[in-house]
Chain A
Amino acid sequence: MRFRELFWFSKREFTINPFLYAGLLFLLIFALTAIGMTVETFSRSVEAFYDYVNRIGNNTFVCELPGLHLDRRDLIDDIDFSEIYAEKEGWVEPVLFTGERRIGEEGLYVELLYPRKGIDIRTTDGEGFNYTNDDNDVVWISEEIAEAYDLSVGDEIIQKITKDDSEIKYKVIGLYHPKDADPDIVFALDTYYINMLEHGEFVNHHVVGTLTESRSYIGVRKTLRDRNIVVRCEYDDVFDFLAIADIIIYILSAVTALFGVWMFNNALGIMIKRRMVYLLKLRMIGIRSFSLLKIFCCTTAVTVVISFVISRVIVFAFTGYISGLIQKFYQIGIASKGSYKGFIVTLIACVTVYLFGVLKLKSAIGKANLSQALEGSRA
């Protein structure tokens, strides 16, 4: 059977059985949306933590640590948190930078940036910014700071730690053109950690974490608490909520998806039964069983594809709505990451459903007895 004939038969199927296929479509959308929601929600919580870290950056020290994000959880073991953090009054002290030509007055601070992956610091003089610089005593400074304090590449600046009246000397190895959100001074990762381990006090951080998930955060929090490190997070309840919501939505979606697939299976059975007379009429006229299978595979495939597209749109809209709700009630921005996981899992579900349908149709057509149709005519 050629494509044109196949198209004709498939089109007639939808035309003469609109409600049947609409029902199948609905059930499929039902199931696939549930699957998509599960995966999508899982991914969204990842983004929540990301933004959460951003927001609490100025408030809570421990949570600002870049080692707490998912990609660098291994660093938890490398850092002695008890040394960094202890609950006592007056813990957080300001960081003051001074230099040969003094770049800060007492109580007047410049902003620091500890490095992050993917940072876009465009140097205009000296060495380019290197995230993994091995030198522990080098910094990059913005052109504005350089101009304000008459600094240039090769100059030395001093970080004065007011807590113990110690000093750290840095060599300026590059200047960069700052964008709106860029800070005044930038360290490489190792430089930051060494300073953190030795002195453990920075303020005015711009924290941009790597994406992680709420349950991961809760795991980190537990790890820290096991080490008697107190984690003070303004939005702890949000993470607890997200972790529980994840599980609830996961269970609900799984149940809904299973129910949807079961319903689809039954609906497909009813459809085949109801269409059997038509199938047999075509068989009597002389259509080959393989051609018949192709027609119904084609119609089922179209149903599955439409369901897939609609369910993706629903998932997209619904997760967007949930993100909006979280933003509204918790003032937490949820960044849009785009979930390929949801797409892939839903796609796999679609293909599975489709193959299942094809097998069912094949079995029904194989068992079809032409004389069954004639029974009706003689009755």
Chain B
Amino acid sequence: MIVIEQLSKTYDKTDRAALDGVDLKIQDSEFVSIVGKSGSGKSTLLNIIGGIEKPSSGKITVGNIDLTVASDNELSDYRSKKTGFIFQSFHLEPQFSVYDNIRLPLLITGVPYGEHKKRIETILEKVDLSLKINDKTSKLSGGEKQRCAIARALVCDPPLILADEPCGNLDTENSLKIMNLLKSINEAGKGVILVTHDKEAAHYAKRIIELKDGRIINEIS
């Protein structure tokens, strides 16, 4: 379970708080959408949950890990083993093949070499990208890139998937595919936290949290 208490985040370059005293609890295997306008703090919240940024104050624990006091190495291990990140801009390595991009987390987490191929092929089947396994990701379409990014996020089998505007750069058809994929991931027992400004996409989640100026202003279950 993710427990967030009085979480605040202020960036040095701005006086305004990106997050301002957020309290939130998210159950394991829950599908939660975080919505809000640009600058509302939703991505900052996701980054803090994902161990990419540290809060200025407050506390956040994921399971038994206190992210506010975790060391750099602990945060690295948390990111590689407990979470899978999906970004709007995919953040794939364009000169790597699909296979190598998905392999990165396996290499980082030290999964035995013998398991790599099987795991990657299995995950690519799930995201329907098996035929592109040897293609460079720079040659993929937007939808294919995002599916590749999802495969990379899932390949280490993390319990929590964090998706930051995963459909932001995609057309309607591909957005639909991605959202259905996230839904199936959640149905398979993984927690999914989705940040989006798309109301339609947000409704794939069972719980919607709305942020404004760094505060939670609405919550729909």
Contacts and interface: CB of A to CB of B under 8 A. Distances in A.
Given A16-B96, A378-B43, A373 B91 contact: yes
A285 B80 contact: yes
B29 interface: no
B76 A288 contact: yes
A285 B79 contact: yes
Interface string A362-379: 000000001101101110
A370 B52 contact: yes
A285 B87 contact: no
Interface in A234-285: 278, 281-285
A287 B156 CA distance: 13
A4 B81 CA distance: 20
A83 interface: no
Please indicate which of the listed interface residues A281, A291, A376 has the most CB atoms of chain B within 10 Å of its own CB. A281
Please indicate which of the listed interface residues A281, A284, A288, A376 has the most CB atoms of chain B within 10 Å of its own CB. A284
Please indicate which of the listed interface residues A4, A286, A287, A370 has the most CB atoms of chain B within 10 Å of its own CB. A286
Interface stretch (B101-109, B140-148, B186-194): B101-109
Contacts of A377: 87-89, 91, 164
B219 interface: no
B80 A286 contact: yes
Contacts of A286: 76-81, 105, 108-109
Interface residues of B, number: 31
A2 interface: yes
Interface string A1-44: 11011001100100110000000000000000000000000000
Please indicate which of the listed interface residues A285, A373, A378 has the most CB atoms of chain B within 10 Å of its own CB. A285
A373 B165 CA distance: 15
A58 interface: no
A289 interface: yes
Interface in B58-101: 72-73, 76-81, 85, 87-89, 91, 93, 95-96, 100
Contacts of B157: none
Contact of A284 (B73, B85, B88, B165): B85
Category for how many chain A residues contact B: 20 to 34
A371 B81 CA distance: 20
Nearest to A4: B113
Task: Name the prevailing secondary structure of the B interface residues.
Answer: helix
Nearest to A15: B95
A12 B107 CA distance: 13
Contact of A5 (B77, B79, B88, B107): B107
A376 B91 CA distance: 9
A371 B53 contact: yes
B91 A284 contact: yes
Please indicate which of the listed interface residues B52, B73, B76, B164 has the most CB atoms of chain A within 10 Å of its own CB. B76
Given A281-B91, A377-B88, A289 B43 contact: no
Contacts of B165: 378
B174 interface: no
A280 B87 CA distance: 13
Given A282-B108, A371-B52, A289 B76 contact: yes
Contact of A288 (B52, B73, B88, B104): B73
Contacts of A15: 95
A283 B108 CA distance: 10
Contacts of B95: 15-16
Interface in A322-379: 370-371, 373-374, 376-378
Contacts of A284: 52, 79, 85, 91
Contact of B47 (A16, A282, A285, A371): A371
A285 B96 CA distance: 15
A177 B52 CA distance: 84
Contacts of B76: 283, 286-289
A285 B102 CA distance: 11
A78 to B, nearest CB: 70
Contacts of A289: 72, 76
Contacts of B104: 282, 285
B93 A281 contact: yes
B133 to A, nearest CB: 17
A9 B107 contact: yes
Interface string A277-319: 0100111111111110000000000000000000000000000
B102 to A, nearest CB: 11
18 contacts: A4-B113, A9-B107, A284-B52, A284-B79, A284-B85, A286-B76, A286-B78, A286-B105, A286-B109, A288-B77, A290-B73, A370-B53, A374-B43, A374-B87, A374-B164, A378-B43, A378-B88, A378-B165
Interface of B: 43, 47, 52-53, 72-73, 76-81, 85, 87-89, 91, 93, 95-96, 100, 104-105, 107-110, 113, 152, 164-165
